[in-house]
């Protein structure tokens, strides 16, 4: 709580409130039955979210590999896969890719008429880089991110195509 107290600026009434909140949080105990109920509700919520997301973006995740072409089954690996999908599905754009800020990132740039229309970062799921995302937001350039090694996230062609199309405003 030291950090919280520093943020509160040494004001006794706020520090007392922070201490009270801390005590309340530490006193909450879940029975195994309650924990099971919460876990089941969270599972249901995730299932519903997945079901709701799937129709909009095609097949995107799950424990079983989909029959649809995806970044894990494409010959040559994830980089040729994304390059092929972007160039095939979006021929009206000049699509180029370059290495990103570190060896776990590749950046695809979509241009039309010399203007940058979209930046797509393909990265390792352990990577937490945010600079390019912030730079794009500041410049008003649409930005997407795909993870090439996220377990259960297949990057199917329909998912990648639809998400990219929406980011391009289509």
Q: Mind listing the pLDDT tens digit for each residue in 119-155?
A: 999 999 888 889 999 999 999 999 999 999 987 788 9
**Non-local CB neighbours of 137 within 8 Å, separated by 6+ positions:** 143
Q: Is the residue at 110 inside a domain?
A: yes
Q: How far apart are CA 132 and CA 135, in angstroms?
A: 5
The residue with greater pLDDT, 21 or 69, is 69
Which residues constitute the domain of residue 62? 58-167
User: Do 110 and 27 have their domain in common?
Assistant: no
Q: Mind listing the pLDDT tens digit for each residue in 31-86?
A: 655 555 555 665 555 555 444 444 455 555 677 788 889 998 899 899 999 999 99
Q: Is the residue at 1 inside a domain?
A: no
pLDDT of residue 50: 47
- Residue 100 scores a pLDDT above 80: yes
Residues 82/142/66/74 CA torsion (nearest 10 deg)? 0
pLDDT of residue 143: 98
Q: Which of 6-20, 86-100, 153-167 has the lowest mean pLDDT?
A: 6-20
What DSSP character marks residue 65?
P
pTM of the model: 0.65
The residue with greater pLDDT, 60 or 163, is 163
Q: How far apart are CA 128 and CA 104, in angstroms?
A: 10
Tokens of 161: 């195509």
Of 55, 73, 89, which residue constitutes the final position of a domain?
55
Q: Is the residue at 94 inside a domain?
A: yes
pLDDT of residue 53: 45
């Amino acid at each position: 709580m030291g950090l919280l107290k520093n943020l509160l600026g040494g004001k006794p009434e706020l520090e007392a409130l922070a201490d009270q909140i801390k005590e309340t949080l530490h006193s909450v105990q879940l029975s195994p039955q309650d924990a099971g109920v919460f876990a089941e509700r969270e599972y249901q919520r995730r299932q519903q979210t997945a079901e709701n997301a799937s129709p909009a973006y095609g097949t995107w995740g799950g424990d079983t590999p989909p029959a649809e072409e995806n970044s894990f089954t494409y010959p040559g690996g994830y980089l040729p896969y994304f390059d092929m999908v972007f160039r095939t599905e979006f021929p009206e754009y000049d699509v180029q890719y370059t290495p990103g800020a570190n060896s776990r990132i590749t950046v695809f740039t979509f241009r039309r008429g010399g203007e940058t229309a979209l930046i797509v970062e393909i990265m390792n799921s352990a990577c937490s880089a945010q600079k390019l995302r912030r730079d794009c937001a500041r410049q008003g350039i649409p930005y997407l991110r795909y993870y090439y090694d996220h377990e259960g996230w297949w990057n199917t062609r329909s998912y990648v195509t639809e998400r990219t199309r929406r980011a391009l405003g289509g």
